[in-house]
A and B are shown apart, each in its own frame.
Chain A
Amino acid sequence: AQSVAQPEDQVNVAEGNPLTVKCTYSVSGNPYLFWYVQYPNRGLQFLLKYITGDNLVKGSYGFEAEFNKSQTSFHLKKPSALVSDSALYFCAVRGTLPMNRDDKIIFGKGTRLHILP
């Protein structure tokens, strides 16, 4: 069965410092991996996705994520955090086995990111 783990409920980072939000996954076959961000009282917004190819994926707002197949991880990173990056971040995975109808996207429980001024 597919699963996603975000091991940290909350991450605190000082403004200007690099940030990392961790995500590990379990899926049969090759994964499609996604990161979404949710601001207060809003729906989720797509940040970036990994399909195939380069392990480093660049997305919106200066975020990037590194796909590591051997560690089954897809950590979200940003070189220099902004206070406006404070939000709830979700990692998600969808399996890619052919003819598999059980291919719904699975979300992690979310990590709350606090950027301290």
Chain B
Amino acid sequence: KAGVTQTPRYLIKTRGQQVTLSCSPISGHRSVSWYQQTPGQGLQFLFEYFSETQRNKGNFPGRFSGRQFSNSRSEMNVSTLELGDSALYLCASSILPGQAPYEQYFGPGTRLTVT
């Protein structure tokens, strides 16, 4: 089975621009979560999608948004980029969300640099 794929792997944007990141989960996985990883803050939860619906959201401003398609693929969008948005953005998929004890499978991440 193919793993979680994320595109693009690297991205350089300037302040004020917007960016869209894409994630394709493992086949059969219906839950997709997004995380922001920075050296200072560690891994911070952005949001989780299941069946095209956002189930959970972390403490990020409204500039961060996402969506999930009927084939479980997900995109996240960041508008009006700030320097502090520079980070590794990780996507993770699991079979189901919620109270289920399913482990997550992570993609390699998209390294976003904002200049």
Q: What 4 additional pairs, Cβ within 8 angstroms, besides A34-B103, A44-B90? A: A41-B108, A44-B106, A103-B98, A104-B45
| Chain A count of residues within 8 A CB distance of the other chain | 28
Closest CB of chain A to B57's CB: distance in Å? 9
Q: Which A-B residue pairs are the 4 nearest by beta carbons?
A: A43-B106, A109-B42, A107-B43, A44-B106
Closest CB of chain B to A56's CB: distance in Å? 17
Question: Hey, which chain A residues are within 8 Å of B56, CB to CB?
Answer: 101-104
Tell me if B55 counts as interface (CB < 8 A to partner A): yes
Tell me if B8 counts as interface (CB < 8 A to partner A): no
Closest CB of chain B to A32's CB: distance in Å? 4
Q: Chain A binding site: helix, strand, loop or mixed by DSSP? A: loop
Closest CB of chain A to B31's CB: distance in Å? 11
CB-defined A-B contacts under 8 Å, sample of 29: A34-B103, A42-B108, A42-B109, A43-B90, A43-B92, A43-B109, A44-B90, A44-B104, A44-B106, A46-B104, A46-B105, A49-B101, A49-B103, A51-B101, A95-B99, A96-B101, A97-B99, A98-B99, A101-B55, A101-B98, A102-B56, A103-B98, A103-B99, A104-B48, A105-B33, A105-B104, A107-B43, A109-B41, A110-B43
List the A residue with the shortest CB-CB distance to B40.
A109
Whether the pair A107, B42 counts as a contact (CB closer than 8 A) is: yes
With beta carbons under 8 angstroms apart, the residue of B45, B92, B103, B107 that contacts A106 is B45
Number of A-B contacts (CB under 8 A): 61
Q: Mask for A37-65, Cβ within 8 A of B = 1, else 0?
A: 00001111110010100000000000000
Closest CB of chain B to A100's CB: distance in Å? 7
Tell me if B4 counts as interface (CB < 8 A to partner A): yes
- Give Cα distance in the complex from A98 to B42, angstroms: 28
- Give Cα distance in the complex from A98 to B100, angstroms: 10
- Give Cα distance in the complex from A110 to B35, angstroms: 14
